[in-house]
Amino acid sequence: MQLKLDELGFKAECIYEVIITTLNENGTLNAAPMGVLLKGSTFLLVKPYITTRTYHNMVRTREAVVNITDDISLFYITIFEKEKVREIPSMKAKKVSVPILANAKAYVECIVEGEPVISNERAEIIMRAVDCGILNRNFRPVCRASNLILESLIHFTRIEALIRSGEVERALKLLELIAFYRDIIKRVCNAPAYGAMIDKIHEEACRIIKIM
């Protein structure tokens, strides 16, 4: 394998949003947005719903490709315009039969390890990376945690000014959003640094509203 997964920008304890490609029974390409979690240096954990094509394709073929992209239009197409998936340019993978999205910034070719563990309509599937590569070095994997921390910081900077101007309801709404983002961050990223940052933002926002 050319690269270790952490060299693609993956960090332990963070869920990254990617597009996973698999092959349908008729040989057509299936693409779906999904979160992946790094496990060690060469393994990824995914949790597809057991009713999805992605799950059934992975169980049947035991192959998948993790396509890393920050192109939001690709995520949109795979959810709302599935009929256009076949129009997305693709390229042949080296170690698996599943194609790589040519517009991806990087990719990881994977083999399913062991059997899925099913709980509450979802399956935990461990994938072993057998090859990976970078198609465009100007990229970073998408993790919602960092974006939500930035959004929380922006909201925090507005709270005191809103209260001083008498717009208490708007300030409280921003606090609610920070609390909501905090819950998401705790769910998608267990990195201590991210947890400490969002806890501090929430704590200080609560303090400002309480004293004012």
Residue 7: pLDDT over 90: no
90 vs 86: CA distance, rounded Å: 9
Give DSSP secondary structure letters for 106-151: EEEEEEEEEEEEEETTEEEEEEEEEEEEES-SS---B-HHHHHHHH
For the segment 67-94, the average pLDDT, to the nearest whole number, is 91
According to DSSP, the residues that pair with 31 across neighbouring strands are: 21
Q: Are the C-beta atoms of residues 86 and 29 closer than 8 Å to each other?
A: yes
Q: What percent of the chain has pLDDT over 70?
A: 98
124 vs 50: CA distance, rounded Å: 10
Q: What is the pLDDT of residue 211?
A: 74
Sign, Cα dihedral of 119, 183, 146, 103: positive
